[in-house]
Amino acid sequence: MKRPSPRLGRTWLGVNFWSRAGGPLMWRYYDPKLVRDELATLARHGLTVTRTFCYWPDFHPEPDRVDEAMVDKFADFLDAHVEFGLTSVPTFLVGHMSGQNWDPAWRHGRDLYADVEMVSRQAWFIERITRRFHDHPAVTGWLISNEMPSYGRRRGDPPAPREHVTAWAQLMVQAVRAGGANQPVSIGDGAWGIEITGRENGFSVRELAEFTDFTGPHVYPTDSDPVRQNLNAAFLCELAAVGGNPVVLEEFGLSSDWASEENTAAYYRQVLHTTLLAGATGWLAWNNTDFDGLADQDPYRHHPFEMHFGVTDSAGRPKAALRELRKFASVLSEVDFDRVRRADTDVALVVSSYLERGYPVTVSEDDRRLVFDSLRQAYVAAREADLAPGLTREEDGIADDALLYLLPSTRQLMAPTFRRLGELARDGATVYLSYCSGTHGGNRGPWFAGLDEFFGVRQELRYGLVAPILEDIVAMRFVEDFGYLRADQVLRFQAAGNEHGRAFLPVTPTTAEVLAIDDYGRPFLLRNRVGDGWAVLCTYPLEYMASCQADVNPEATYRLYQALAAAAGVRREATVDDPLVFADVLVHEDGRRFRVLVSQHDGAVEVSPIGRTVADKGTR
């Protein structure tokens, strides 16, 4: 299965930039020397690009006037980039930043997407700025806005209608092109749309990708499990590829008020290297500097932690984050990143269309949350198993070139999709499904017509009820050899979940063979021959249960995935015998193959890659 990682043509590694003299008000207090000192520090550490901002109230003070003094300062700022060999991605409509919204004085509360005059004025402003700078050598791309979902609607208001947002965004992109620009352009919305998060905010990542050139997730996750936390950004980058565009991690980082320098460095290392393996092709940290001198200025006055997201401190001294970016720049150079791609994979994680589509009457936010959480936990387990998973989305049609299809704690699929999975199994693939009854009381149970026949069982559910998991620990006791697992082995799982989801599927095998049983002798894992392939059913919602728990990873699901992969004939080109060290492969266009190892351990560990030999010159 292909794991595409389309490119912009030039790798972006840099930061979001406000000068420490002024922050969002930097253009009022513009200091050419200080700006050059700040840019020089970034360049010395191997960074190549900044994301920069036209603070909208200052640049567009009247509906039909651009402040030329501000524009002249921006011109000097771009000239300074050229002096230090840097490029920049200007952002036009900046009315939201770091916990505060600012309007141009003339907005008067009008709708940014549907009010025809407001839309016209935004497009006019964008075209004017673009005409001024479209041929400037420092400009390497454009962004329409900054996190418009947080700006275009007041807190508590419903999201803007998707058709309004998509039409507005298309007009803004057309304004960039009307201004003469041919550099890549995107929206700057954060990629928080329903296809990524399962929550509707009006900004469809899929629809916006039709007329933009890259997708830019803004990722600031928190979690209760360290391994999930370290992989959150990577998982979101995988989902953000829904439209087929290059994925640029447009914002990521953390405040020094939230973590020590040592732990900040560790988080940056994790995000940079795991998103590299997830197909990201650009990285823009938030942000270039701390702002201790702006404690009396909004937004820092009321969001004081926002003062300390910088990769340099308020005196311009490098912090741990900048040192990690410099190391990562060396990695990108060593592998000649512009000419490498991710290795293909034999393992597909199936993304149910119920994550992103509102089918009539049936889909709730709980359903979407279940899809997201179970998929993310499966992604973690697959990484621990060194399976290098790719995502295949039901909405786009299931890819036909994998050997193993994983449907983790999956409750809902379209009928044609389930039929298609049967065809893939008959052609030789292995299809794995772990049962989940759902996390709410509506239409409990599986939504698959033909489940019994496909998996070779007779389900014994009672209508309206679940078969609750009463034990705190459930045991998967193997009674047959399966992949790497032997008939005497036992995998144990911590039970968790609410009254609806903490339930198993009681079945009686018909044509299926029982591979593993629980402590009561009930079928836990079954395999049914389907044509030339296999259908494998797990009667417990392993991924859902793990997703509900803190400090759970690594848990035993990764061992089950390893066994599934072995039984399905999956090639693991790079693997280590340690679930807390992830292994993957990057392929250079000249034929070299680079093993990439990412450790989750707190300290140094020694591991030796095992499996198929790789002729490489750059194992890392």
Confidence of residue 553 (pLDDT cuts 50, 70, 90): very high
Instruction: Find where tokens 């399976």 sit.
Output: 387
Beta-bridge partners for 252: 219
Instruction: Report the C-alpha gap between 48 and 60 in whole angstroms.
Output: 29
pLDDT in tens, 297-339: 999 999 999 999 999 999 999 999 999 999 999 999 999 999 9
How many CB atoms lie under 10 A from the CB of residue 464?
9
Report pLDDT digits (tens) over 133-178.
999 999 999 999 999 998 977 777 889 999 999 999 999 999 999 9
* Neighbouring residues of 604: CB distance < 8 A, sequence distance ≥ 6: none
What is the structure's pLDDT at 611? 54
DSSP 5-45: ----SS-EEEEE---TTTGGGTTTT--HHHHHHHHHHHHHT
| Cβ contacts of 290 within 8 Å, gap of 6 or more | 20, 256, 307, 308, 309, 310, 312, 313, 314, 319
Q: How confident is the model at residue 9 (pLDDT cuts 50, 70, 90)?
A: confident
Residue 613 reports pLDDT greater than 70 = no
User: Residue 618's pLDDT band (boundaries 50, 70, 90)?
Assistant: very low
Same domain, 16 and 114: yes
Residue 4: inside a domain, yes or no?
A: no
Q: Which of 327, 342, 357 is the last residue of a domain?
A: 342
φ, ψ of residue 585 to 5 degrees: the values are -135, 135
Express each pLDDT in 485-516 by its tens digit: 999 999 999 999 999 999 999 999 999 999 99
Domain identity same for 117 and 53 = yes
The CATH number of the domain holding residue 358 is: 3.40.50.880
- pLDDT for the residue numbered 66: 98
- The label of the residue with tokens 């900004």 reads 203
Tell me the one-letter amino acid at 539: T
Residues 253 and 372 in one domain: no
Same structural domain, 291 and 358: no
Asked whether the predicted pLDDT for residue 93 surpasses 90, the reply is: yes
Q: Is residue 7 part of a domain?
A: no
Q: How confident is the model at residue 619 (pLDDT cuts 50, 70, 90)?
A: very low
Instruction: Determine contact, residues 186/216, Cβ cutoff 8 Å.
Output: yes
- Three-class SS string for 225-275? CHHHHHHHHHHHHHHHHHHCCCEEECEECCCCCCCCHHHHHHHHHHHHHHH
* Cβ contact 442:419 at 8 Å: no
Find the helix or strand (DSSP H, E) in which 219 lies.
Answer: strand 218-219
CATH number at residue 89: 3.20.20.80
pLDDT of 616 strictly over 50? no
| 370 occurs within a structural domain | yes
Query: Which domain-ending residue is among 325, 342, 359?
Result: 342
Whole-angstrom CA distances from 613 to 392, 505, 573 are 28, 41, 7
Confidence of residue 620 (pLDDT cuts 50, 70, 90): very low
Cα pseudo-dihedral 289, 290, 293, 294, rounded to 10: 90
User: Within a domain: residue 3?
Assistant: no
Q: For the purposes of burial, counting CB atoms within 10 Å of the CB of 499, is it exposed (0-12), middle (13-18) or buried (19 or more)?
A: exposed
CA–CA dist 353, 375 (Å, integer): 12
Buried b vs exposed e over 353-373: b needs ≥16 C-beta within 10 Å?
bbbbeeeeeebbebbbbbbbb
276 domain residue, yes or no: yes
Locate tokens 């890259």: which residue?
Answer: 214
The number of C-alpha atoms within 13 Å of 258 and in the hemisphere containing its C-beta is 16
Per-residue pLDDT reduced to its tens digit, 451-484: 999 999 999 999 999 999 999 999 999 999 999 9
Least confident segment among 257-261, 291-295, 613-617: 613-617
Query: What is the model's pLDDT at position 170?
Result: 98
Cβ of 9: how many Cβ atoms within 10 Å? 11
Please indicate, yes or no, whether residues 443 and 361 belong to a single structural domain of this protein: yes
Average pLDDT, the chain: 95
Quickly list H helices, 441-491. Answer: 451-455
**CA pair distance 38, 617, nearest whole angstrom:** 36
Domain housing 583: 575-610
Residues 86 and 198 in one domain: yes
Is the confidence at residue 181, as pLDDT, over 60?
Answer: yes
Looking at the structure, tell me whether residues 144 and 261 fall in a common domain: yes
230 in the same domain as 127: yes
Q: What is the pLDDT at residue 605? A: 92
Q: Is residue 65 part of a domain?
A: yes
pLDDT at 361: 67
Q: Name the DSSP class of 381.
A: H
Residue 401's pLDDT band (cuts 50, 70, 90): very high
Distance CA 599, CA 596 (A): 10
Are both 296 and 378 inside the same structural domain? no
What's the pLDDT score for residue 421?
97
Q: At what angle do helices 116-133 and 68-83 cross, to 10 degrees?
A: 40
User: Helix 162-178 to helix 116-133 angle, to the nearest 10 degrees?
Assistant: 30
Question: Quick check: 401 and 435 in contact, CB under 8 A?
Answer: no
**What is the domain count for the chain?**
3
Residues 417, 546 share a domain = yes
Same domain, 143 and 47: yes
Kindly state whether residue 1 falls inside one of the protein's structural domains: no
Cα torsion through 72, 73, 75, 81, rounded to 10: 170
Do both 387 and 259 map to the same domain?
Answer: no
User: What was the pLDDT predicted at 615?
Assistant: 32
Spatial CA neighbour of 321 closest among 376, 392, 262: 262
Residues written for the chain: 620
Q: Which of 342, 362, 392 is the last residue of a domain?
A: 342
